[in-house]
């Protein structure tokens, strides 16, 4: 499963991350640039979290999409995840 986690409420953000770490196997975090999802609020930081319920987190693979340029005319697309998908540990 995956989840988009927006950092609009710091308390809820931290509680959700702790729950995922304690109750699920959180195996991958993809860090997105602030403002990737403008509808969530201008400049909001977002992460994509991949997890499996009912297992324990042992290690987390972290992937940062820091170098992509996202805007109204250049939205987030499948091509931005090309390298991520090539490197994705299976």
- Domain total of the chain: 1
| Whole-number pLDDT of residue 38 | 64
Q: How confident is the model at residue 42 (pLDDT cuts 50, 70, 90)?
A: low
- pTM of the entire structure? 0.72
The mean of the pLDDT values for the chain is: 81
Range of the structural domain that residue 27 is part of: 2-87
**DSSP code per residue over 24-89:** EEEEEEEEE-TTSSGGG-TT--EEEEEEEETS-----EEEE-TT----SSS---GGGGHHHHHH--
* Average of per-residue pLDDT across 12-18: 85
Q: Which of 17, 15, 11 is nearest to 47 (CA)?
A: 17
Q: How confident is the model at residue 40 (pLDDT cuts 50, 70, 90)?
A: low
């Amino acid at each position: 499963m995956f989840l988009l986690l927006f950092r609009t409420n710091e308390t809820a953000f931290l509680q959700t991350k702790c729950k995922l770490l304690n109750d699920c196997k959180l195996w991958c975090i993809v860090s997105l640039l602030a403002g990737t999802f403008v509808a969530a609020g201008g400049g909001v930081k977002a992460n994509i979290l991949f997890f499996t319920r009912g297992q324990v987190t042992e290690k987390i693979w972290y992937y940062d999409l820091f170098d992509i340029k996202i805007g109204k005319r250049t939205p987030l697309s499948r091509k931005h995840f090309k390298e991520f998908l090539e490197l994705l540990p299976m």
